[in-house]
Amino acid sequence: MKSKVLLIYTGGTIGMMQDAKTGQLKPFDFKHLTEQIPELNKFDVELSAISFSKPIDSSDMSPAVWIEMADAIKANYAKYDGFVILHGSDTMSFTASALSFMLENLSKPVILTGSQLPIGTIRTDGKENLITAIEIAAAKEKGKPVVSEVCIYFEYQLYRGNRTHKYNAEHFQAFQSPNYPILAEAGVHLKYNRAALMKPGTKKLNVQTKLDPNIAILKMYPGISENVVDAVLRTKSLKALIIETFGAGNATTQQWFTDSLKKAISRGLVVLNVTQCNAGKVEQGKYATSAAFKKMGVIGGSDITTEAAVAKLMYVLGTAKGKKEIEKMLRSDLRGEMSI
């Protein structure tokens, strides 16, 4: 039987076409998708498409929109074998990370893709990204999906979504996954790295839509002032803080900084330590400058990306019962987002 794939257009560059009269870019009608990309007619895939009533730029992404995406997958989960989400590239890693946590027990592929140039332009990267994303979403072996996790496909490579970050605003190869292997590479053949793929969920899909956005990010830099740190820590309703530290999890050892963090943690603030480096991981206590974090109860984030840390914290704060469970979940690898 033909695989059934649902395209979900949320917005972004990939869905833009140039108006013949005005020259302006506008979202094209996905009902006529095969007219724009006739190569799709060669697929032995039953393709359907839905679009957000008001497509958004990915810079306007929010937890409310993540919930809308998750609900769309939930409503159509039994009808389709795979899903392709067309999304702006700027916040794609955040969305992929969020969906990986929200879609508990996922056993089907959810592939996010987009482009650096509109699909209506001659040199667009959107056509190849879309065609291969559909092929991956439809791929089966012995009646079961080859991929059963939330991924990003971009410029010939398939990544685990919650391991990615966008590192280039100009090149077609816009994403990296420095701490986890590529899941597949598209060349003459589509080659899967089967050892790196996540195993499918064995229980019924559970879509978790309780997200708590009361978090903040504090990026360390030489010369950071007490006033800046204090302003962040005293943010109203703040429940969790991501500290982007130097190297393997290091930060200033000035007494005012240590005291400020201790007081915030004693008030119940959850603090997660994530490295600023693109590759590598946090190892609290490896150097004296991070030993204080370990003593005061700061949680080491290992090699989790900032994007995944944001999504994970929102998910954990929304689902966990009590601080102990929150800390346990943050120290655990829930969806392949970190190495422990």
Catalytic residues: 13
Q: What radius of gyration do the chain's Cα atoms show?
A: 21
Number of other residues whose CB lies within 10 A of the CB of residue 251: 22
- The contacts of residue 195 (CB under 8 Å, 6+ apart) are none
Q: For 199, which DSSP code?
A: P
Burial category of 334 from C-beta neighbours within 10 Å (exposed 0-12, middle 13-18, buried 19 and up): middle
In the three-class reduction of DSSP (H, G, I as helix; E, B as strand; rest coil), residue 257 is classed as helix
Answer whether 95's CB lies under 8 Å from 87's CB.
yes
Task: Name the phi and psi angles at 286, rounded to 5.
Answer: -65, -40
- Helical packing angle, 63-76 and 92-102, nearest 10°: 50
> What element of type H or E holds 91?
none
Burial class of 199 by CB neighbour count within 10 A (0 to 12, 13 to 18, 19+): exposed
The owner of tokens 């990267």 is 125
Torsion of CA 279, 283, 284, 289, to 10 degrees: -70
Count the helix, strand and coil residues of the chain and give each as a percent rounded to the nearest 5: 35, 25, 45
Count of CB atoms situated within 10 Å of the CB of 210: 12
User: What three-state secondary structure class fits 110?
Assistant: strand
- H or E stretch at 123: none
User: For residue 154, what are the CA distances in angstroms to 166, 187, 244?
Assistant: 11, 13, 26
- Rounded CA gap, 118 and 126, in Å? 7
